[in-house]
A and B are shown apart, each in its own frame.
Chain A
Amino acid sequence: MKPLLDVRDLVTEFPIGGKQGLRAVDEVSFKLNRGEVLGLVGESGSGKSVTGFSIMGLVDKPGKVSSGQILFDGEDLATQSYEQMRSLRGRRIAMVFQDPMMTLNPVLRIGTQMTEAIHAHEKVSPSQARIRARDALGMVGIPSPEERLDAYPHEFSGGMRQRVAIAIALLHRPDLIIADEPTTALDVTIQAQIISEFQKLTEEQGTAVIWITHDLAIVSGLADRIAVMYGGRIVESGDITTVLEAPHHPYTRGLIRSVPSENSRGTRLAQIPGVTPSLSRMPEGCTFRTRCERATDACRVRPGQFGNELDYHRCFHPFEEKLA
């Protein structure tokens, strides 16, 4: 089967003061089939959002995709014109941004923004659009949706704004949804409601989803596959169960071990030693080298992808045993 999305060696850079650009995304490759959910997890600043922006053609200027391919349904998005991308966005590919105010206009009523989004790609009457907008709000668990259509974004709670952004992304039942930390600030009940809507889309419409998150508990129940990013690279990728049970890469292990619910109360949490170096100071070779307890001289060389193109890791001294 030909994948819906096939990202190959994607590099996205931000030029900083004339010097060589900062590589926010560094040779990232992954594939996604219709109806599949990929959990994209990793350190803060590791390039998850920028990966999403790159696919959407929304990298903040002067940053740009400098090499690689983004094959969506056979066509390379990296070479599409602005107009072509605009007609795809919202209709065939949608993104739920990490910050809902990137989707929402603070001076327009919620209802107006939603009906405008509907009208951008579909010819429906204003009253029909309003009904669809209302139902979409109800679908993401907003009570009294009819009355709430007339509110402004600042009159919504943080989680409610996040949910409106999700509702807008789902409006046109796109083929691919990139959801960037879509439920970070939501309680479990509402989270489950929203995820159930995504699951419906993946099952009934074959929508593919990239679910960017740091919440491993959600990913463990939702995703088919997982890709773990660190310092702009995917350091481990594979089937979700396999990776969570027996992670090869030391960073993946550290990540799983620092989940608060897996630690005991009142004690200090297990944390990965050291801090993430900024992009301009990423070490040569393995980017995790400065924080890794298994590092040796061999790690001064950039690790390649060990494994096959779907299941791989980038580590010279991988763990083989299961997590305790």
Chain B
Amino acid sequence: MSLPNTPQNESPLLEIRKVSRHFGSKPDIATRISIALGAAKPPPVVHALDEVDLVIRRGEVLGLVGESGCGKSTLGRIAANILQPSSGSVLWKGTDRSKLNGRALRDADLAAQMIFQNPMAALNPRMNIETLVSEAPAIHGMIKGSRAAYVDEYLQKAGFDPDMKRRLPHQFSGGQRARVNIARALAVRPDFLVCDESVAALDVSIQAQILNLFMDLREQLDLTYLFVSHDLGVVEHISDRVAIMYLGRVVEEAPVEEVFAKPNHPYTQALLAEVPRIRPGKRKFEAIKGELPSPINPPPGCHFHPRCPFATERCRTEIPKRKEIAPHHYSACHLNDVAA
């Protein structure tokens, strides 16, 4: 699939610049005093994102992959404007989002929707499906005709039988709830959709329906996607470009064919070596070797160095810079200096 052609002068839909996000529980006053006196340890700070740069162009599908806990949902939430960065800036259609207000802010908020990773947590357990789907579009006056017809349309799009719309979320299976979440996000007719493991809970045949739907909608409604998934098969299938994260940083970014054909970063190479396929025959699954690096205590230099087979002294001290190693192909690894 080729990249959608955007005029050169048009600004990208979303631009993330040097965004970091830290999480730390605020100690209460008593704990603060004991920390000051050396009687208690300061609470750990999680470095979820570390100076991430990322551009999302209009009409594209950007796949985001990486290990569990590496910061994908945090980045997704920042892209969808649900979470604010600790530092750095986010530009929406060329304007710094923190400078938006009033109508412009409301429109930007509605235009960016997120389908959350955990469908149950996102659904109010006391609201029936119909209310859950129609709530936001009704508030914002998006429903012109009958509310019931509007809800049915979006439920059907997401492969959910509208007959069941009077029931409560807990009465559904995991995959059915995931589809309610998808219908709910689509119902406000967004420009930009952050899909966080949105098809993970679905069996492959419904996954296929939903992925096909996402591709159709992109053509019909000009949607742009940030597609978070751990499933490389799905990412390869749906994305135009792919960004690979490792422990709070984007380590590689390239058009999809390029990543899968010529992965550059050692982490990406390791990741691709393990694409699971259906292979009958029992096999031994391998435990992780060594200790996993932690975002509470990220290793200095290149975050991947404790697990990288090519790590050198330099990797242990110096953070590798993001470089364009081929057209539109970026990677952050010291090995690229030597090769040049």
Contacts and interface: CB of A to CB of B under 8 A. Distances in A.
Interface of A: 14, 41-45, 48-50, 60, 98-101, 141-144, 147-148, 150-151, 155, 157-161, 163, 180-181, 184-193, 195-197, 199, 214-218, 220-224, 240-241, 244-245, 254-256, 258-263, 265-266, 268-272, 275-278, 280-281
B208 A258 contact: yes
Nearest to A143: B294
A21 to B, nearest CB: 13
Given A60-B170, A101-B121, A221-B282, A44 B277 contact: no
B204 A255 contact: yes
Contacts of A256: 278
A181 B212 CA distance: 23
A220 B231 contact: no
Nearest to B65: A187
Interface in B206-256: 206-209, 211-212, 215, 230-234, 236-237, 256
B68 A43 contact: no
A255 B280 contact: no
Interface residues on B, range: 35 or more
A241 B278 CA distance: 10
B104 interface: no
B72 to A, nearest CB: 8
B66 interface: yes
25 contacts: A43-B205, A44-B201, A45-B173, A101-B118, A143-B69, A143-B291, A144-B44, A144-B296, A155-B46, A158-B68, A160-B68, A181-B201, A184-B197, A187-B67, A188-B230, A188-B276, A192-B288, A193-B286, A193-B288, A199-B285, A217-B276, A217-B279, A254-B205, A260-B234, A263-B237
B202 interface: yes
Q: Which of B23, B234, B275, B285 has the most CB of A within 10 A?
A: B285
A180 B275 CA distance: 22
B295 interface: yes
Contacts of A99: 118-120, 174
Interface stretch (B3-11, B135-143, B158-166, B332-340): B158-166
Contacts of B294: 143-144
B326 interface: no
A266 B208 contact: no
Q: Which of B68, B174, B288 has the most CB of A within 10 A?
A: B68
Given A60-B170, A158-B117, A255-B204, A260 B279 contact: no
Nearest to B69: A157
Contacts of A60: 170-171
Contact of A278 (B161, B232, B236): B161
B204 A258 contact: yes
B205 A255 contact: yes
Q: Which of B117, B173, B257 has the most CB of A within 10 A?
A: B173
Contact of A244 (B173, B256, B280): B280
Given A192-B285, A220-B281, A261-B276, 12 more contacts: A44-B176, A99-B118, A158-B117, A185-B200, A186-B230, A187-B271, A196-B284, A196-B285, A260-B204, A260-B231, A276-B206, A278-B163
B292 A192 contact: no
Contact of B274 (A143, A189, A268): A189
Contacts of B288: 141, 189-190, 192-193
Given A144-B44, A157-B73, A262 B197 contact: no
Given A43-B203, A49-B174, A241-B280, A269 B66 contact: no
Contacts of A222: 282, 285
A190 B283 CA distance: 16
Nearest to A98: B174
Given A157-B68, A196-B284, A275-B159, A217 B278 contact: yes
Q: Which of A259, A262, A263 has the most CB of B within 10 A?
A: A259
B152 to A, nearest CB: 13
B166 to A, nearest CB: 10
A259 B278 contact: yes
B203 A260 contact: no
A207 to B, nearest CB: 15
B237 A260 contact: yes
B71 to A, nearest CB: 8
A221 B279 contact: yes
A61 B149 CA distance: 32
A190 B164 contact: no
Nearest to A224: B282
Given A188-B276, A262-B278, A270 B208 contact: yes
A14 B171 CA distance: 10
Nearest to B202: A44
Contacts of A280: 163
